[in-house]
Amino acid sequence: MSTMQFQKIVPNYYFRFDQDMNASNGSFCGNDVETTAKMCRKYIVDSCLRWIQLYGFDGFRFDLMGIIDVDTINEIKRRCSEVDPSVMIYGEGWNMPTMLDESKRATMMNHAKIPQVAHFNDRFRGAIKSIILDTVDRDAFLMESFVQVLQGSVLKNGQLEPLFDNVYQTINYVECHDNSTLQDYLQYQNGVEDEAERVKKANFALTLVMLSQGIPFIHSGQEFYRTKQGVDNSYNSSDEINQIDWLLREKNDGGVQFAKQLIQLRKDYPHFRLNTQEISDCITISNIKDGVWLYSITKGSTLDIYINIGSTTEVAPQGALIFDTMENQDEAKLTQWQIKIYKR
């Protein structure tokens, strides 16, 4: 640490230490920045302002946000919003073992103390990725999680307490830079070797990301079924692993068009962008038959979203079909991993 520039500027000021002057290592990178120090906080806030004013940044995503204290995160949001009211602040709200009282960490647990900040929702990630694994028992707890995350993780469901106070605090995702890509996860964790089956499940998962309440997050390349050749922690891997494979994008253009269709659907229908109060007023979710869930949203019109995680079956929908993940001809037929939306 003695070679680090901030340590040279003011020794033992910009980094966090325990009472015996051992460097805090909640980041598991060898040190933690002492964000509660006045000039350290100022440096971080001023840097964010500089990037907004000079380069037009419209948001910031904080890695290991739980290392940072809540006052610093709130100050970033406040000052940046003065320049751009639409600025977005989000990050990894994991509770890291840094030398800072848990009540002061910018974590999901402390979401009420940083109300304008969003968090990667690992409950959403875990529920959706578990459902699409053939080897996982879809027990009552998993399905409670599934129903809760569709509704933005802001409502109590069964034994599950809400994760957040407001729907704009949840980042819904199934894939990001950390861990395996969804394609690799399916191939190596599930043993799914058939590419068509992996694509079907990937489209199913992406559809749930885009149609759930909250903020959807799509990893770069997820839309064309990106792979990192099975590497699940690629921070120190070569470009061969981490690069964007544009040939794969060309090969899987159908996936790109599918993602565009989902994005447009979300833009066209405010049903998928409800505020927190509307979620409890406008949504009903029911298990209408084994493996089939009906997710209905009423906001003026009603959208009935049929989600099948079970075997092929038939449903009796009302209204006009506006979206189908598989585009088969039989409107009553609903195959496994198929999602259909009817408007009435």
Q: Give the catalytic positions in this structure.
A: 63, 92
- The residues with which 308 forms a beta bridge, in sequence order, are 292
For residues 328 and 338, give the distance between their C-alpha atoms in angstroms, rounded to a whole number. Answer: 10
CA distances from 146 to 97, 189, 210, 274 (A): 29, 20, 14, 18
Q: What is the DSSP letter of 112?
A: G
**Rounded to an integer, what is the distance from CA 98 to the centroid of its chain?**
24
Nearest C-alpha neighbor of 337 from the set 329, 327, 328, 325: 325
For residues 232 and 267, give the distance between their C-alpha atoms in angstroms, rounded to a whole number. Answer: 33
Write out the two tokens for 285.
């979710």
Does residue 117 contact residue 88 with C-beta atoms inside 8 Å? Answer: no
- Parallel/antiparallel/unpaired status of strands 118-120 and 170-172: parallel
Q: Specify the amino acid at residue 54.
A: L
Contacts (Cβ under 8 Å, ≥6 apart) of 167: 152, 153, 154, 213, 214, 274, 275, 276, 279
